[in-house]
Amino acid sequence: MVITKDMPVSGIASSWEETKAVFVKYSIPYESNKALKEHLQDDQLISIISEINKVIGSSEATCIEGG
């Protein structure tokens, strides 16, 4: 699964424990029910999504649409 800007932070953190360190780095509370896009904008949003996907070993190349 690829992490997207619309996913809630708490859902990401509870599914992938290793992402909590990334949220701490960006000063985002990993208990937040808000979507990533509500915490960061533009370049920072792109950076954190890329970093989280790298941490969990996911990318657009490893996933297919709809599953």
Residue 53 counted as domain residue: yes
Residue 1 counted as domain residue: no
When divided into structural domains, the chain yields a total of 1
Residue 47 counted as domain residue: yes
How do residues 25-60 score in pLDDT, each as one tens digit? Answer: 999 999 999 999 999 999 999 999 999 999 999 865
On the question of pLDDT at 62 being above 50, the answer is no
On the question of pLDDT at 64 being above 50, the answer is no
Residue 52 counted as domain residue: yes
On the question of pLDDT at 1 being above 80, the answer is no
Residue 3 counted as domain residue: no
pTM of the model: 0.84
Domain that holds residue 37: 9-62
Q: How far apart are the first and last CA of the chain?
A: 7
What's the pLDDT at 65? 47
Closest to 15 in 3D by CA, of 30, 35, 37? 30
d(CA 55, CA 2): 11
Looking up tokens 């949220």 gives 23
d(CA 12, CA 51): 13
